[in-house]
Each structure stands twice: as structure tokens, then as C-alpha cells.
Structure 1
């Protein structure tokens, strides 16, 4: 399936329903992407007001999830789509679930930002947060772009990036755990950073999940739970 195929149905109502689903997915993606950016800024700048806004945005994201699910269910019931259209509906419903969870992880980071603004800054971990945070922000942006463009190659790149994020996360964890052992007085504040890094790592995982759905949508191949070499073979083959 490619972008030129999308919306090429004899029924204008079917075209409009699919276009609406896609547009609402992109709207939800934009909201969640802003949540991630704002949550990171709130943590790095100890901005409690911005952290509160991130947490408040969750309600709008949740409502969009419900709306998109209802639209997809309506198309399945009334149109009984087959082949590529069915893959689109399946991919959207799974991507929406991952986007909602990314919003949840962003809210967790915002909650850690609030705690740190009350307890005082952590003595360590902000460099790691900034580095891994920038990485997963790019992953989310790229996976949404891949979905919008029906770009399986870009989705493959996102999946490969997730492996790099996992390595960076494990390295950061080792460093911060060692620091806490050396300075127990900082444990509470450093733990807030650790939970934030864990949330960022999960955002990377969910971005990869969406990328895998893009590959399923475009190539019709399930690439979950396989190695990067196998995934590349399915995309390039």
C-alpha cells in the first residue's frame, strides 16, 4: 500500500471515513509529541507550571483515542474493509493505543518534574535525560512522519534507533545506580531521574511499535518480535 492508493474508492463516504481516521491519528500524534517535548522541558527547567499542563493534556489525548477507536469500529461494521484498507484500520487502532501510552509516560515525566521542583534538583542525570530525551523525540516525530507518508524505510530506521536508545538507557542506569551507592543522601532525587529515564525508554519502545505497524500497513508483513536483520529483509525484500 502506498500514499497514492489511499482514498481511491468508488464510495466517497468510505474515502471520507478513512481520511477522517487518518487525520485524527495525526492530530493525536501531534498532541502527544507536544506532551513529550513539554514534559522534557518541564523536567530540565524545573518548570512546575509546564508540568501541570502536560498532565492536563492527557484528557484530550484520551478523548481522541476513544473517538478514533469508535471511527474504526464504525468502518469495520459498515464497510467490512478487506486487504489494504483492513490493514490500515488495524494499524491505526494499534498505533492509537501506543500513542495513548506515550501520553501516559509523558505525564509520568511531568510528575517527576513536579517532585524535583519541590525537593530540589537531582545532582546527576540531567545530561542523560537531555540526550535520551532528544533521541526519543526524534523517534516519535519520525515514526509519525513515516505513518503520514506510508514510508516503510523510515519506519525501519526508527526501529533501529530503538536499539540505540536501549543501550544508552542501560548505560545511564549503571551510572546513576553507582552514584546513589556512593551518595545515599541523593537517592530520592536521583530516583526521580531514573523513573523519568525509564519513561523515556518506554516512549522509544512505543515509537518502535508504531513503526512496526507502518511496515505492516505498507508491506503487509508482521515484523513484531523479530531481529533487525529479519525486519530489514522483510522491508527490503
Structure 2
């Protein structure tokens, strides 16, 4: 359940305003679900050598872009019609920023799908698929938890997502070092290993975007911006 100290949205005299905010949140979560699926399917396409599934992911990116444009338009209309203040303005502005993060996650999924197609044409990569599965599941969990934190306005869960980002960075660096060593041992592996490296980098970026969403959830819940701040500051904001 959300932190009992967190603000609650959607409690206004105007029922229509309540409906508009609810619809905005619903559309955002729908886009989040679509993006989650894109990432999951891209990883599956790569690890299963499924070029057709990868192509489906590439084509679906257009739907993600369309969702971003629709959500931006709806958020702007809410601001124009209602001129929200305080907590409601934080919600609408945060949604606009988080939508941009979701769209970029979709872009990273498309990149992974492109690499899946190339690797399928060249044959399976000699190394790195275990790391892709592991880091992929980690960042998917972060993304899911960040979206769930938004749905429940749970700043404690958002903080947990932020703390996971450092571990993903460490996992990415370890996997990159292992691949570099493998490439040095046999130059014939360089092309395929570089593509695996790009996939790992895309996954690491997805973790960054999940962390960004979590930071916005804390801003909505607590009214304080924790971006670019030490983790201790975020802990203080959430714990107060």
C-alpha cells in the first residue's frame, strides 16, 4: 500500500476533473504496459533467435510513439482547461516527463530488436546471452515496480527502484568486461560481441529510465525533487 503520508490524487469538487486525472493515469499505465511488453519480447526475440518476433517489436514502436503523442496532448489539455495547482500540477507535469522516459524505453527495445535480427542473420552470439537474460529480467522488474509505484503513489517502492539502479550498473560493467576479454582472445568474435554489448547498453539505459520514473513518483508523493541528489537525500524525503 502507498505510504500513508503520501498525497492522494483525484479528490476534487469537480467530478469531471477527477475523471480527467484518472484517465491520464490510466493512459500512462497502458503505455507502460505496452513498453514493458516491447522490452520483454525484444529480449525473447534475441535469446531465442526469433527474427520475426524482433520485426514485430520494431513495427510496434510506432504504437508507442503514438501513445506518447496522445498522452502529451491530453496532459496539455488538462493544464489548459483546469489550470491545476500544487499536487495536481505535479502529477500532470510528472506524467509528461515520465511519458518521455517510456518512449525512450521503447526506443531501446527497438534497438535490441534490430540487434536480434542482425545476430539471427550471423548466427548466435558466442557469449553474452546469459548476461542479457539476467540483466534483462532485472531491468524489467525495475520498470514494472516503478509503474506499480506510480499506480499506488508508493514512494517507498519508488525508492527501492532507485536503489536497484546501482546494481544494474555494476552488472552491466561486469558483463562488458567479460565480453571485452572474449573479443581479445579471438578477433573473429568482435562483430557479434559488439552487438551483444550494444544490447547490454540498451538494457542498462532501460534501468536508468525506470529510475527516472521512480524519482518522479517521489516528487508527486512528497513534493520534493530528488533528481541529481545523493541517495541519502531521497531516503530523507521518503522517510519524513
What TM-score results when the alignment is normalised by the length of structure 1? Answer: 0.97
**What secondary structure does 2:126 align onto?**
coil
Any conservation in 2 of the 1:2–1:150 contact (CA below 8 Å)?
A: no
Which aligned pairs between 1:80-229 and structure 2 lie closer than 5 A? 80-229=83-232
Aligned to 2:45: 42
Any conservation in 1 of the 2:149–2:217 contact (CA below 8 Å)?
A: yes
CA drift of 1:8 comes to 1.1
Which aligned pairs between 1:67-78 and structure 2 lie closer than 5 A? 67-78=70-81
Aligned to 2:58: 55
Deviations 1:18-45 (A, max 9, x none): 1111110000000000001000100100
Any conservation in 2 of the 1:87–1:217 contact (CA below 8 Å)?
A: yes
Q: For 1:54 and 1:111, locate their aligned partners in 2 and report how far apart those are by CA, in whole Å.
A: 9
CA drift of 1:233 comes to 1.3
Q: Compared with structure 1, are the counterparts of its residues 215 and 3 closer, same or farther at alpha carbon in structure 2 (3 Å cutoff)? A: closer
Q: For 1:104 and 1:156, locate their aligned partners in 2 and report how far apart those are by CA, in whole Å.
A: 25
**What secondary structure does 2:11 align onto?**
coil
Q: For 1:173 and 1:12, locate their aligned partners in 2 and report how far apart those are by CA, in whole Å.
A: 52
Structure 2: state its 5+ residue gaps: none
CA drift of 1:5 comes to 2.9
**What secondary structure does 2:127 align onto?**
coil
**What secondary structure does 1:57 align onto?**
helix
What TM-score results when the alignment is normalised by the length of structure 2? Answer: 0.96
Aligned to 2:32: 29
Q: Compared with structure 1, are the counterparts of its residues 5 and 170 closer, same or farther at alpha carbon in structure 2 (3 Å cutoff)? A: same
Structure 1: state its 5+ residue gaps: none
CA drift of 1:226 comes to 1.4
CA drift of 1:2 comes to 7.2
Deviations 1:123-181 (A, max 9, x none): 11011101100100100000000000000000000000000000111111111111101
Q: Compared with structure 1, are the counterparts of its residues 61 and 3 closer, same or farther at alpha carbon in structure 2 (3 Å cutoff)? A: farther
Deviations 1:166-220 (A, max 9, x none): 0111111111111101111011111110000000000000000000000000000
Calculate the aligned-residue CA RMSD, in Å.
1.3
Q: For 2:234 and 2:18, locate their aligned partners in 1 and report how far apart those are by CA, in whole Å.
A: 31
CA drift of 1:16 comes to 1.2
